[in-house]
Each structure stands twice: as structure tokens, then as C-alpha cells.
Structure 1
Amino acid sequence: MNSDRINYAEITISAVSPSQYPEDGLTEIVLAGRSNVGKSSFINTMVNRKKLARTSGQPGKTRTLNFFNIEKELFFVDVPGYGYAKVSNAEQEKWGRMMTEYFATREELALGILLVDFRHEPSDLDVQMYDLYKYYNIPVLVIGTKADKIKKSKYNKHEGIIKRTLRFEPEDKFFTFSSFSREGRDEIWEEILSYTRNEME
């Protein structure tokens, strides 16, 4: 797959239970993060689209597992954003059950991406999400979004804060990313595609 020239990127299905998951057998890369971390902008930048994933003025609108088919070679799976105050505890618990069921049962799931705001210390919910990936033995790629808002001279400081807060494990990878400058896009694609190659071998 040539990540510079992506011709096909479509949302295939919005699922709430295993019976609705795609049956294509393609490698799946799950994307998680706080409601306002820039997940939609990340997806759109990665696939060179402006509106594949809808950016919203109302965080917390994703309430399903959204499967995005990329070049008919892999899926990005966008899970509900967390930490949005207007969503009830019961709704949050429902999302939690839906996600853990997916993590626990889905053989096609090869990599978990955790998007965190590079400007801030990860929240307790970010830490829980990282720990959830680790509990299910899912390799993790942590991505610091909105990196264009931080001076390069401060990168090491912010990366250190994020890694310490998450109790970042050495086998995982960390990248900075900006949907504005496209920083990190190529390196992140290279890492993602290494997992699709692993699945094919």
C-alpha cells in the first residue's frame, strides 16, 4: 500500500456488537482518545481526505465502533471518545462494555493507537485506556496530537511527561503528530504498515 496515494477510504459499518463486525479478515488498527483530542482530524490527514471522518463541534458524538476501510487492505476502527461530560455514566459504561468485548474477542485487531494531546499531561482516562490495551496484550502506539502548538525545544519535556504518566513500556512506540503541518504522518504510516505486513507473513 502506498500511503502517499490513497485512492480508497470509506466507512464500511458502524457496529455495536460482534455480529456487525466486518468479515473481510483485514488487519484492524483501533483508534482511541479523548473526545477533543483530534481523532477525526488524524484519520482525515492519514488518508488524505477532508471529511471522511467528521470533525464535530460537539465532542462525544461517536457512539459506535466505526470501521474505515483503507485501500481494501486494513481497517481503522474508531471507538467512542471518552471524557465528555455531557454523556451519562450509563452511556459511558455501555461504550466500555462494547470496547472491551471488541478488544477481548477480535482476532483481526493488530495494533492499538492512543491519541493524547501533546500539550497536556494525560488524564486518568488516558491512563485507563493505555492499561486496557496492555491488559489485552495489544501493541500500543501513543501519538501526541496538536504538536504544532508546542515549540520543538519543549518536545522532550512534553514527551517525558506523557510517558511517565502512562507508565509507558519500552516495547511501545511514541510519535508526535499535527494535522495542521502533517508532522509524523509518514512515520506513523510506516509503523502501521509494519503490522499489516506482520499479519500477512
Structure 2
Amino acid sequence: MKVTKAEIVISAVKPEQYPNDPWPHFALAGRSNVGKSSFINKMLNRKNLARTSSKPGKTQTLNFYNINDIFYFVDVPGYGFAKVSKKDREAWGKMIETYLTTSENLRAVIQIVDIRHKPTEDDKLMYNFCKHYEMPVIIIATKADKIPKGKWDKHLKVIKETLNIDPNDPVVTFSSETGKGKDEAWSIIQRYM
């Protein structure tokens, strides 16, 4: 996919703020600090379109990125971050749940996990939530540059087993440093458009 246009168009917290055109949406979900912003920037060939932060929990709204005037990436707040009040976490949870269960344009959830670590309970909850609502999930195992290539398969096996991944849900080994997996991720995303 050649990205000629990429811009953030709105940060929404409720359904009436979602863009109202018929373009497909791809929601990006993952733990705080798992590399969602880096994934977005790499996929869109932009340095700082999605703000990366050393402070987890920065994204507190649903951020809609218009891509080529044909579809949206929707960055949802990271989950599993402890330094946010319980009240805020519950509000985010409700906002994310409302979006994921009511958006008619949502085509797939892109769930980002860290290839180096076994998925957390929060990762499992997110994946199971998507499966409960029969949403397609694309698993992106990021930070692949941080472990030797020879260990990728072993780590992917742990991810697949821990999340009990549906064989129809693709798993992509990805690195926002090297670009590994970028073309594969685009070809999978395009299948859902």
C-alpha cells in the first residue's frame, strides 16, 4: 500500500464524534507502551504522526487517522496501565467497548503484542472480547528486532498458545525499527477492506 495521505482527523470519546463517512475502520489495541504509535508511524511512513511517549497511558481518546481518504486507523487507549485511576480506566474501558461493539465500519481489530513477552491477562481479555463479538483480529507481534531471528518461531508459538488464537486470525512478526512485517501487514489489512 502506498500511503500518500495520513492525518489525524478527530480524537473522539463518544459515538456522535466518530467520522460519519462509510470508510472501513481498523482499531489498534494493545497494552500501554507496546509500540502502537511506532507501528502506526512505520505503517504510514511518518516520523511523528502518532505521538510516541516514554510515559504509558498517553492516549486517552479514540484517535482516528484518515489514510488516503479511503480508510481509518483508530488508535484506542492502551490497556493494563496501573498509574491511571480506576475511574479513568473504567471510563476508557466503556469508551473502547462502545466503539468496538457499535461501530458499523469496524473491519478488524489489530491487536499489538510484544513478541518478547508472553501475552498478559489483559491481552487475553482483549482477544477473547473480540472473539466473543466475532470480530476478526490481526495479531501484530512487534519489537521483533529485539530478539534473534532464530527465536521468532518459539516466541510466536507462546503467543498463539497463550491467546488460544483462532487459526483464521493472522499473526505477523513485526519491527518498527527494520520494517519487518510491514508489507505483510498491509496485504492482510487490504483483504478486510
TM-score range, shorter chain: over 0.9
Matched, 1:67 2:64: yes
Distance 2:17 2:133 in 1: 21
| 1:83 aligned residue | 80
Q: Which amino acid aligns with 1:93?
A: E
Give the TM-score of the pair, scaled to structure 1.
Answer: 0.94
- The answer on 1:58 being equivalent to 2:64 is no
Q: Cα distance, 1:70 vs. partner?
A: 0.4
- Which residue, 163, 166, 175 being the options, matches 2:160? 163
Q: Which amino acid aligns with 2:161?
A: R
TM-score (norm 2): 0.98
Q: Is residue 143 from structure 1 mapped to residue 143 from structure 2 by the alignment? A: no
Instruction: Give a deviation string over 1:22-79, Cα, whole Å, max 9, x none.
Output: 0111000000001110000000000000011000121101011000000001100000
CA distance in 1, matches of 2:3, 2:109: 21
Count residues in correspondence.
193
- Output the amino acid matched with 1:142: I
Shift of 1:194: 1.1
- The reply on whether 1:42 has 2:26 as its aligned counterpart is no
Contact 2:33 2:54 in 1 (8 A): no
The separation in 2 between residues aligned to 1:49 and 1:86, in whole angstroms, is 29
- d(CA) in 1 for partners of 2:35, 2:101: 26
Letter matched to residue 59 of structure 1 = P
Letter of the 1:137 counterpart: E
Whole-angstrom distance in 1 between the partners of 2:57 and 2:115:
20
Does 2:113 correspond to 1:107?
A: no
CA drift of 1:156 comes to 1.2
Deviation at 1:88, TM superposition (A): 1.0
* Separation in structure 1 between the aligned mates of residue 131 and residue 87 of structure 2, nearest angstrom: 25
Q: Pick from 118, 133, 136 the counterpart of residue 130 of structure 2.
A: 133
Q: Distance in 2 between matches of 1:13 and 1:135?
A: 28
CA distance in 2, matches of 1:118, 1:181: 15
- Whether contact under 8 Å (2:27, 2:75) holds in the other structure is yes
- Aligned-residue sequence identity (percent) comes to 54
Distance in 2 (alpha carbons) for counterparts of 1:116 and 1:133: 15
The list of structure 1 runs, each at least 4 consecutive aligned residues, that deviate by more than 6 angstroms after superposition, is: none
Q: Distance in 2 between matches of 1:138 and 1:154?
A: 30
Between 96-105 and 46-55, the greater mean CA deviation after superposition: 96-105
Where structure 2 has 5 or more consecutive residues not aligned to the other structure, the ranges are none
Corresponding residue of 1:190? 187
